Every structure is written in structure tokens, then in C-alpha cells.
Structure 1
Amino acid sequence: MLEREQYTPGPANAAQIRKDGGKKWTLILVRELRHSPEKVWQALTDPAHLLEWAPFDTEGSLGTAGTTVKLTWAGTPTPIETRVTRADAPKVLEYGDMRWELEAFDGGTRLTLWHTIDRRFISMSAAGWHICFDVLDRLLIGTPIGRIVAGEAMKFGWPRLNSEYARQFGIETPSLRLQKQAQEYAEAREIQQALMPKEIPRMPGLEISGSCRPARIVGGDYFDVIKFGASRLGLCIADVSGKGMPAALLMSNLQAVVKALAAENTSPKELVEKVNRVMWHNTKEDKFITLFYGLLDIDRKTLQYANAGHNAPILTREDGVQVRLEQGGLIVGAFQESVYDQGEIALRPGDRLVMFTDGLSEAADGNGEEFGEKRLTEASFCNRQLSAEALHHCLLDRVTDFCGGEFEDDATVLVIAVS
């Protein structure tokens, strides 16, 4: 049927809902038809006509008040006994949870439907009736396209109409929630990417390479490399708990605080303690932040650092000796006056420092086994001769292959090579 294949419903028409209280609301739809009230009345009440356009079948006419008719909704196997409570032809028809009014209008009929239904399905019903009314109009003018109900309606614009009516009614549908989530995740990703360093500073005797591999749902990873003068660098990596926009906003707040407080003469211990006090005021009880901050002095060949509950970076010497940078204290934001220890380690030519977030170490394969810090440590050891950039990509590739590219959390890695 060519006309059926070409049918596309127009946009959602003006519709209203009456919030009656409780679980049920009343949907109010109006459609102007180019046919007399008598002709429309017949289509509303005659079983043969209803079979051509309505979302239900009946075993008898709906045109007589006081009669009980078995009515079967499309997609449901069990008929419902429905009593016709009013049938004033060709003006008013009432049965079950529906009321129809027909008003002669401009040579045709203004048809109004009141349908009281579970409020969870109000936009779905509006979309379904919209299509049914289109089919009714074509039936009445003599170019029937066949009933379009239940699953068949999915092929003819029902999902779009459902979303349009939901927006019109100011309610959310699963699809709208998904759209909102997708938009929120996209915005969160934009925030996250904006916080990452656009360009990593260069310094003689060092090579630095890093990136964040975002998960499907944006987490709260953040890293930065801050240059102080000609010989000092601030190295920062952090992980904010949570996903999506809340995590992105908290991460943005953290970055701003670190940027404001970090200075050439501010030790890692001082910085982390100051950041902790600020973030304690800005963080909810169920949120937390892990943070590692190091101050690298290329002239002195030292790295001072404070680790606030973060995954301990892995320092691999040229001879294969490995050291974990663990000194520090509790996660950021747990207690207002947390005190942190400061570590210091000498840097030597050939050293490779790997800083990472748990999205890298906790990436899991199809059986749920995590890549783990042991594998990460071994990979750092076996590839310690690589450049910072090559080691950075080697580690990411290893983990990506292990988990099949399915990261449940952001995976961030920052590699520093000392020459």
C-alpha cells in the first residue's frame, strides 16, 4: 500500500493534560476533521470502522448507552468489558475512561478526546492517538492506509511524537532522560577536555607525555604540568569520585584551586594541605578526591611530593629498581585539618616516572579480571628503555588490549623520562 509507506506523522499538535491527582491524568486531544459529525460518529462507534483506525477492537457497537461491549486493546490478549455510559449521537460518547465530543465546525467536525490514563503513559498515548487520528482522517476521505497501532507505530514516527508530547507536557520519558544524559555527558567531557593541559611544557633534561582516555561515561580524572621559571615543574594528577556533570564540576573546582595555590616556593605538603582545606568546604560527604602533587627541580635533580590517597606513581630506574611514591596522607576533603607528609626522591638519568589513575589499573577484561597495578608495574619495568611518549602509549595500548577497549572509568597516564 503506497500511501501507507509514504505516511509520516506531522509534529505534535497542541494537546493538554489535566493532572487529576493520584496516578491518573487526563489527556485532552483536539483534531479538526473534514467530515460531518454523523460520519465521524459512525467511525467512532461501528466495530468495522474501529478495526480500520482505532487502537482497540470491539465485539459490538459503542453507539448505544447502557450496553456493555468487550473491548480489546491492540497488543493485549484479554478483552475488557466496557460499559457505554453516554451516547448522544452525534455529539457526545462516553465509555470506560474515554469521553468524545463532536462539534460541527467550518463544514467539518472538531473532535475532542478526553482519555484518563496512568500518568506514566500520557505522552505515549498522545503519540499513539495522534497517529490513529491521521489514519482516521484518511479512512474518512476514502484513502485508507490501514491501522497503525502497537509495535507497528514504531516504524511511523511514534518515538519522535512521544518525545515531542513529553516535552510539551513538561514530563520526562526514558528516551528524553537518555537524551539529557547524553547531553550532560557531552558537556562534562567538554569541561574535562578544557581542563587538560593544551600543551605540556618542555624542559631540558626531561621528556613528558600524558593523556586521558575517557570512558563512555565521563569520570573525574585530571592531570596538569605547571611550569615555574626555568627549572621547576609542578606535576599534578587527581581523580574525583563520581561520573558525569557532578564529577566534571568538582574536577573543575579542584583544578582552579590547584592553579590558584601552586607556586614555585610552595612545597607539595603545603599545597595539598591548602587544597584539602578549601575542598573540604566544597565537597559533599559522599564525594572524595585522590591527589598526587609533585614539585620537580631539574637543577637539583629532585622530586618532592605529597600523595593524598592516590595510586602511588611508579618510578623505574635505569637498572630496573622500582620505587612507589606513597608518602602523604588521606584523601582530599575527608577532614578539614588533615596533615600530610612530604616525600623526596633523587632523579637520575634513565629514570621513568609513571603517574596514573585507577581507571588504568582497574580496567577489566570480559571475565571481570582487572589489569591491576602488578601488570602495570611489570610493563613499566619491561619498557623502561622507551621514550616518555612511547612508554605512555605502550601502557595505554596494553590496557586497551586487555579490556577490549571497554573502559568503565577514565584512564589517565602521565610519564616523565629523565635524560
Structure 2
Amino acid sequence: MEEFKKQYRALIDLSLTSVGKDALLKKCEAFTDEVIKRDILPEHIVEIHKDYITLLDLEQNQILESLVVLEEIVKGFGYSYRDYQQMVDRLQYHDKEMDLASRLQQTMLKTDIPQFDSIQIGVISVAAQKVSGDYFNLIDHKDGTMSFAVADVIGKGIPAALAMSMIKFGMDSYGHSQLPSDGLKRLNRVVEKNVNQNMFVTMFYGLYEEMNHLLYCSSAGHEPGYIYRAETQTFEEIDVRGRVLGVSQQTRYQQQEIPIFLDDLVIIFTDGVTEVRNEEGEFINKDQLLDMIHKYKHMHPQDIVQLLYEAILKIQNPKKRDDLTILIIKRVN
């Protein structure tokens, strides 16, 4: 602070000499930047000024000349405050837009959980910020089949929300069950034509057939899913692979057919789950997540996903949060 006082007093001394006003104002401008960086209050500047001119015992005309320095510094505070206020106004406007986008997303992407006799469904999807880049959809086709999808937009904010809405409309508009490989092929065309070229979408697309208890599934660059086998108490990775949506209209998708037995679980994540970091910044081992699921395997899937989410919150670094979605389907008697 003493060094700061010396610099300010030097400006007052300079104002009392025959130095040109332009040169003085330039030095005052540079000093003002330093004042704002150091977060020094205007009243401190006034106090320093008063003390120094009292010490110098100046005449009235000299006091008036010294006030040029104080005037320039105070002007700088005024400019800084106006810039700050404009930034606050922009942030408030942005927050209102994000609130609106969040409400629209919740309304447009709302999905009812279908009810079946032989399967139970649990799902949780939590946004890291107001607008989520994750998405899930469940469609009961009323013919003993259910389509489902879990997706993640590589992008954030309102554009991501709009992309998700487009994908949901694409899925819902089919009106009938279709194989996942065909579903991804159609959605890929929608994304490629209508979504920003720098925004891509990963998706796991499944069709569950209740009569034969078969799972048909395809993936567009999404995190691998898992099957928990109740008989052997082991997890199998669903190794179906494919290119992310939106890269090329000519992309075709592989499809896998998997039998689901009594008490088996179908588990689908987004990378907000598989790439969780702890307080030390280290990734949580995927086996830890699967062990948690194994621990709660006897419970309803909705309870499993809720307990898994709560466990993740306890070990997750809050500064490294991402959108998170977990879907579990369980075959029951």
C-alpha cells in the first residue's frame, strides 16, 4: 500500500508541474488500471489525496490543479462500473434464456416409463447445468415391444437441447417398432441434415421384445452397455459398435441380438457416469460402478439407479460434474 501511495503522490506532484495535460492523463489512465486490478476502493484514493495536499500546504489554484488526477481516477471507476453493469445485465439475460430453455427441454423431452408384466425399468437423468446434453427415451409400441434410447450430445446449452428435441421427434414419429440398426440409420440422416456440423450425437438404441425376451441393440459411438447375468452373477459387455450420428449419411449400423433371462439386468450409461472423477481428479474404476449394481441387484431398478447416483455424488469431484444418465431394465417373473 505504501508503494501505491508513493505512485499516487507522484501523479499529484506531476500535476503541479508544467508537464503537458495529455501526458498526465495518460499516466493517470495507466494508474487507474492498476487501482482496479488491486481492488482499491475510491474512498481510499480520496483519503490519500486529502492527506497529501494537506501535507503540501497548497494554494487554492494548486489544489484545483491536483484535482485533475483525482477526477481521472474516479472516471476510471465509473467506466469500470458501467462495464461491470453491462456484463451483469448480459448474464441476467443469458440466465433467463437458459431458464426458458430448461423448461422447454423438460416439457418437450418428457418421457413416461412404460409398464410391462415381465420387465421393470429404472432411469435417472441429471443435468450438470440448467440444460442437459443427455437424453433418454422409452416407447411402448403396444405390441409387446419397447424401443429405448440413451444419447449424449457432444455439445452443450440451447443447441444441444434443440438437437435432443429433434431426435425425440424422430423416434416418436415412427409410430411402430423397428430394429435399432434401422432406427439409427434414420436418426443419423436427421442429425446430419439438421444439426450443426460441429455437433455430434452418441446413442445406444435398443428394442426389447417381451414375448421371446430378446434384446436387439445398436450403438452410434456410445458408451458400451452391460448385461448382468443372474445365473452366473457376472457382467457381460455389450460390444456392439458404430459411428456417432451426424458424420455421414451413408453410415450403417451393426446390430446385436441378446437373450435376457430371469433376473438379468440391462444397464446403459452416459459418459457422465463412466468418466466420473474423484476429489483427486482420478477416474473412478468402472468395476466400482458394476460392484455397486451387483450389491443392489435384488432391488427394483428405480431404486438401483437412485442409490447408484447417490453413491456417485459422494465420491465425485463437484467441480468435474457432467450430465449423467443411467437406465436399467430388469427381467422379472
Per the normalisation by structure 1, the TM-score is: 0.60
Structure 2: 5+ residue runs without aligned partners? 1-42
Which among 321, 326, 329 is matched to residue 413 of structure 1? Answer: 326
Worse overlay, 404-413 or 276-285: 404-413
Question: In the superposition, relative to structure 1, how do residues 278 and 55 fare at CA in structure 2: closer, same or farther (>3 Å)?
Answer: farther
**2:185, 2:251 within 8 Å by CA — same for their partners in 1?**
yes
Is 1:232 the counterpart of 2:145 in the alignment?
yes
Which residue is equivalent to 2:315?
402
Give yes or no for the alignment of 1:293 onto 2:205.
Answer: yes
164, 167, 171: which one aligns with 1:251: 164
Matched, 1:275 2:234: no
Q: Tell whether 2:132 aligns with 1:219.
A: yes
Give runs of aligned pairs for residues 283-322 of structure 1, distance below 5 A.
283-319=195-231, 320-322=233-235
CA drift of 1:395 comes to 1.4
- Aligned partner of 1:324: which letter? E
**Cα deviation 1:271-313 (Å, max 9, x = unaligned):** 1011101101122232110011111110011011111111111
1:123 and 2:36 matched? no
Q: 1:262, CA displacement in angstroms?
A: 5.8
Q: Distance in 1 between matches of 2:110 and 2:273?
A: 19
Cα 1:345–1:97 shift into 2, 3 Å: closer
Secondary structure, counterpart of 2:107 in structure 1: helix
Matched position secondary structure for 2:202: strand
Alpha carbons 1:221, 1:410 under 8 Å: kept:
yes
Residues of 1 paired with 2:199 and 2:272: CA distance? 17
Q: 1:388 to 1:177 in 2, by over 3 A?
A: same
1:193 matches 2:190: no
Q: Is 2:260 the partner of 1:347? A: yes
Alpha-carbon offset, residue 249 of structure 1: 1.7
Q: Which has the higher contact order (CA 8 A, sep 6+)?
A: 2
- Preserved CA contact (<8 Å) 2:127 2:133: no
Whichever residue aligns with residue 184 of structure 2, its letter is V
Give the secondary structure class of the aligned counterpart of 1:367. coil
Tell me if structure 2 keeps the 8 A contact 1:277–1:333. Answer: yes
Letter in 1 for 2:157: G
Deviations 1:191-243 (A, max 9, x none): 33224444301011011111212213533111011010141101111011222
Per the alignment, do residues 368 and 249 of structure 1 end up closer, same or farther by CA in structure 2, a change over 3 Å counting?
same
Provide closer, same or farther for how the CA distance between residues 61 and 295 of structure 1 changes in structure 2, counting only shifts above 3 A.
farther
Report how far residue 256 of structure 1 moved: 1.5
1:69 aligns with 2:66: yes
Q: Shift in Å at residue 406 of structure 1?
A: 5.7
Q: Which residue of 2 aligns with 1:362?
A: 275
Q: Indicate the SS of the match to 1:393.
A: helix
Q: Supply the distance in 1 between the matched residues of 2:280 and 2:127 (Cα, whole angstroms).
A: 22
DSSP 3-state at the match of 1:211: strand
Distance 1:121 1:331, change over 3 A: same
Following superposition, the deviation at residue 68 of structure 1 comes to 3.8
Q: Structure 1 pair 218/373, CA: closer, same or farther in 2 (3 Å)?
A: farther
Assess, with a 3 A threshold, how the Cα gap between structure 1 residues 189 and 69 changes in structure 2: closer, same or farther. Answer: same
Within 5 A, what are the aligned runs for 1:48-127?
57=49, 59=53, 68-69=65-66, 71-73=68-70, 121=80, 123=82
Alpha-carbon distance in 1 for matches of 2:61, 2:132:
60
Displacement of 1:400 in angstroms is: 1.3
Structure with a larger share of its residues in helix:
2
C-alpha distance 55-298 of structure 1, shift in aligned 2 (>3 A): farther
Aligned partner (choices 281, 286, 298) of residue 385 of structure 1: 298
Give the deviation of 1:341 after TM superposition: 0.6
Q: Once the two structures are superposed, what CA deviation does each residue of 1:349-387 show, in whole Å capped at 9, x if it has no partner?
A: 111111111112222221112224332223223332222
8 Å Cα contact 2:133-2:154 kept in structure 1: yes
Q: Secondary structure at the match of 1:201?
A: coil
Q: Which has the larger radius of gyration?
A: 1
Amino acid at match of 1:389: Q
Paired with 1:247 and 1:56, the residues of 2 have a C-alpha distance of 53
Contact 2:133 2:153 in 1 (8 A): yes
1:79-108 CA-to-partner distances (Å, cap 9, x unmatched) read xxxxxxxxxxxxxxxx8799xxxxxxxxxx
CA 1:119–1:400 in 2, change beyond 3 Å: closer, same or farther?
same
Q: In 1, Cα distance between the equivalents of 2:302 and 2:113?
A: 12
* 8 Å contact from structure 2 (residues 121, 330) kept in 1: yes
The whole-number CA distance in structure 2 between the counterparts of 1:119 and 1:277 is 53
Structure 1 distance, partners of 2:262, 2:217, is 19
Q: Which residue of 2 aligns with 1:178?
A: 91
Q: Structure 2 length as normaliser, TM-score?
A: 0.75
In 1, are the aligned partners of 2:203 and 2:222 still within 8 Å (CA)?
yes
Q: Which of these residues, 245, 248, 271, is aligned with residue 335 of structure 1?
A: 248
Give the equivalent residue in structure 2 for 1:263: 176
Instruction: Give the Cα separation in 1 of the matches to 2:215 and 2:273.
Output: 23
